Amino acid sequence: MSSVDAVVVGAGPNGLAAAVTLARAGLRVELFEAADTVGGGTRTAELTLPGFRHDVCSAVHPMAPPSPFFRAFELERRVELVTPEISYAHPLEGRPAGIAYRDLDRTAERLGRDGAAWRNLFAPVAAHPDRIGRFTAAPLLRIPANPVTVARFGMRVLEQASPAWSLRFRDDTAPAMLTGVAAHSIGRLPGIAPAGVAMTLAGHAHAHGWPIPIGGSQAIADAMADDLLAHGGSITTGTRIADLRDLPAAKATVLDVSARALLELGGHSLPPGYRRALSRFRFGDAVAKVDYALSEPVPWTDPDLHAAPTFHIGGTRAQIARSEREVAAGRHPSRPYVLGSQPTIVDSSRAPAGRHVVWAYTHVPRGSTLDPTQIVTAEIERHAPGFRDTILASASRSAAQFAEYNPNYVGGDISAGAVTLAQLLRRPVLSPVPWRTPIPGVYLGSSSTPPATGVHGMSGYQAALYALRDRFGLEAPQLGVED
């Protein structure tokens, strides 16, 4: 007789969400993780100097508040999340930065003659963040529960994906701000997937805001691991699973691994059609990152940047589109897009008194071994002269090193699969229940499944809910804090 009911492989936010859901349903759950600590893309560590704590991967959490999993789990009662007034900023040379305040009207006011266009673009999305959250958390194949809101959202996505994407704006700032968010998807611009990402994330910026966890993203992983242990689950770290046949016998297995790893772990039991579909699944371009320990805050030229925990650098819409095209063509752009976070302006626990940390990454071709320190530092310096002089230490990770750090980041693709329209429909296969694999009892719950990348726990949660229903005849358990 098996000593466990369910096994989970991989302790990223999706694996942890699956394990918590299964354990809360009363099952005996064992979780295996390749690394020495839990967290996957939600780890925080001293990467530079003692006392400076850096988010190794995710840092900012726009996907957490609207996530049905985190809602049920009552994340905000377990982790202190700071929601800044400024969701993101976009410094521009020779003129004021674009600032996306959580307050839509304030954002519009600052945009001057493009204010009304920005307000019209986001008002319907920001008014119904939960409907948009539910829609983007489900496979695109499903009929939406709120067709009117979704249709409005869809029209805006189509507009921002078309060559006429700047038609509603008269100045450069608003399009640059939108493009800074669209570029999170890593790929050619404009396009449907980046436009969807832009409308979703920028919509959340004006609805729930873009929260930062006190203590770093590790706090989110730890909250889930604690809940799992409190409900009888066990966690084995330092164990990379190479074959499904090495796992303890269990009625259900949820894999927080990439679509490619599913092929490696279970290829022997998968039918040829499914194997072919997995082998056609494409991985995208990559990120390379720098973490800085600073003696003082970043000396931004634009004073409004001092209050912006998240910033996008890369110039105008056309300049960002050009640098993303370069990456897609396999080249390192000379003026790259940089996504950054300065969490110590809202969380002083990350560094010794008066000191700061900055987290910043840029896009590079998949598999790149480029150390991004020089190019990222130069881009920040462009908008913050003197930045170099504030650096006490830095640590970098190339795309190739990200792939070594976490097997889900194939070639340094942090989304476990390219974020394209085709792969939002077919993630990793075209199915209304893409979390179910053809192997009875085996479910895929990583960001190689909907709703793709980000810290939301929804891929693992959905996989666990299907496992509970199919294998145990159980419905969704209560996940909230037990008083």
Ligand X SMILES: Cc1cc2nc3c(=O)[nH]c(=O)nc-3n(C[C@H](O)[C@H](O)[C@H](O)COP(=O)(O)OP(=O)(O)OC[C@H]3O[C@@H](n4cnc5c(N)ncnc54)[C@H](O)[C@@H]3O)c2cc1C
Can you give the binding site for ligand X, defined by CB under 6 A? 9-15, 32-35, 40-42, 57-61, 63, 240-241, 256-257, 261, 287, 289, 361, 402, 406-409, 414, 446-447, 453-455, 459
Residues in the chain: 483
Which C-beta is closer to ligand X: that of 124 or that of 417?
417
Distance in Å, CB of 43 to ligand X, minimum: 8
Which C-beta is closer to ligand X: that of 60 or that of 400?
60
DSSP state of 103: S
Which C-beta is closer to ligand X: that of 84 or that of 124?
84
Distance in Å, CB of 98 to ligand X, minimum: 19
User: Strand pairing of 29-32 and 6-9?
Assistant: parallel
Which C-beta is closer to ligand X: that of 125 or that of 452?
452
Tokens of 75: 């994340």
Given a contact cutoff of 8 angstroms between Cβ atoms, the answer to whether 431 and 406 are in contact is: no
Which C-beta is closer to ligand X: that of 86 or that of 287?
287
Alpha carbons within 13 angstroms on the beta-carbon side of residue 240 total 11
Tokens of 332: 């390192």
Distance CA 393, CA 380 (A): 15
Distance in Å, CB of 56 to ligand X, minimum: 7
Given a contact cutoff of 8 angstroms between Cβ atoms, the answer to whether 380 and 300 are in contact is: no
What is the C-alpha R_g of the chain? 21
Q: CA 461: distance to chain centroid?
A: 16
Distance in Å, CB of 464 to ligand X, minimum: 12
Distance in Å, CB of 364 to ligand X, minimum: 12
Tokens of 286: 């990559």
Q: Where in 263-354 does DSSP place strands (E)?
A: 286-294, 310-313, 338-341
Distance in Å, CB of 112 to ligand X, minimum: 30
Which C-beta is closer to ligand X: that of 299 or that of 367?
367
- Which single residue is written with the structure tokens 């496992």? 467
Which C-beta is closer to ligand X: that of 38 or that of 117?
38
Which C-beta is closer to ligand X: that of 8 or that of 293?
8
Given a contact cutoff of 8 angstroms between Cβ atoms, the answer to whether 323 and 284 are in contact is: no
Distance in Å, CB of 257 to ligand X, minimum: 4
Residues 6+ apart with CB under 8 A from 235: 11, 31, 33, 38, 225, 228, 229
Which C-beta is closer to ligand X: that of 58 or that of 149?
58
**Coil, strand or helix: which one is 217?**
coil
| CA nearest to 84, candidates 216, 208, 256 | 208
Distance CA 433, CA 442 (A): 13
Distance in Å, CB of 197 to ligand X, minimum: 11
Distance in Å, CB of 94 to ligand X, minimum: 29
User: Phi-psi category of 314—alpha, beta or left, where left has phi over 0 and alpha has psi -120 to 50?
Assistant: left
Q: Taking CB positions, which residue lies at the least distance from ligand X?
A: 12
Q: State phi, psi for 416 to the nearest 5 degrees.
A: 55, 40
Distance in Å, CB of 12 to ligand X, minimum: 2
Which C-beta is closer to ligand X: that of 161 or that of 225?
225
Distance CA 217, CA 215 (A): 7
